Amino acid sequence: MYGSEADIEAVLERARRADVDHFVTIGSGSGLEGSKRAIQLSIKHRDVSATVGIHPLEATTERGVIEQYRSLLDSHHIVALGEMGLDYFRNPIAPEIQRACFTLQIHWAQELQRPIIIHDRESKGEVFSILCTHRAFETNYVLYHCFTNSVQHMYEIVNKGGFISIPGIVTFKNAHSMKEVARKVPLERLLIETDSPFLTPKPHRGKRNEPCYLKHTAQYIADIRGIGIHDLTRHTDRNTRLIFGIKS
């Protein structure tokens, strides 16, 4: 994990030297304090934007907590809501609570006209079904974070107007399904991500992940698609700026 403020500053600087010119820091997965820290980081740095969301591993229907999250969404530094969704992999939180929390956040995103960042683990299509039921694809940009599902499901998402984000897992030897998705997802629907500090791409696998390693994921995807890295990143940069409203 990232530690001190000095550590974070060094991480950002290494990424800038690696030609990363804007960052979206995900303010979910570490409770309310994680969302607050994401906002604080975006206030401090002009090239950092934040998201706020209630991760399915922290899903709740407790009114006081819900109200605190909702109050954070008034910050103009927030460019999206999420990660949100469902996680049925060893998650002790009841599915009905996860669904209620997910649905509430979809409505918040629609009210605020902000993009939706999806976390979907072993929901067997339930996340997609809920998004369709609430017409999220028609009203908001929907980005599937860290997509590890099938090519068939990828096509279902992009045909509804959604976007697919691929992390460094694609560089792993046995990530066969993800490699196939990376080859076939339409360029106008593709993003790449770090999921820092996790999922470090080769050749740095085993180390803490950082945004400066994004270039390895980009090069790998460009190679398996048989295109130049500049062609790939031209599309992924455009898609990222479109979804999050980031100016060049």
- 248 residues of the chain, pLDDT tens digit each: 577 889 999 999 999 999 999 999 999 989 999 999 999 999 999 999 999 999 999 999 999 999 999 999 999 999 999 999 999 999 999 999 999 999 999 999 999 999 999 999 999 999 999 999 999 999 999 999 999 999 999 999 999 999 999 999 999 999 999 999 999 999 999 999 999 999 999 999 999 999 999 999 999 999 999 999 999 999 999 999 999 999 87
* List of long-range contacts for 232-240, beta carbons under 8 Å, 24+ apart: 232/187, 235/187, 235/188, 235/190, 236/190, 236/191, 236/192, 239/163, 239/188, 239/189, 239/190, 239/191, 240/22, 240/24, 240/191
How many Cβ atoms are within 10 Å of 223's Cβ, its own excluded?
12
Alpha-carbon separation of residue 83 from 67, 68, 162, 206 (angstroms): 17, 17, 15, 24
Residue among 12, 37, 15, 24 nearest 145 (CA): 24
The pairing of beta strand 78-87 with beta strand 23-27: unpaired
By the 10 Å C-beta count (0-12 exposed, 13-18 middle, 19+ buried), 63 is classed as exposed
Chain-centre distance of CA 33, in angstroms?
A: 19
Q: What is the CA radius of gyration of the chain?
A: 17
Cut 0.85: pTM above it: yes
Question: Cα separation of 195 and 80, whole Å?
Answer: 16
| Residue in the block written with tokens 């939180």 | 93
Residue among 88, 136, 131, 129 nearest 112 (CA): 136
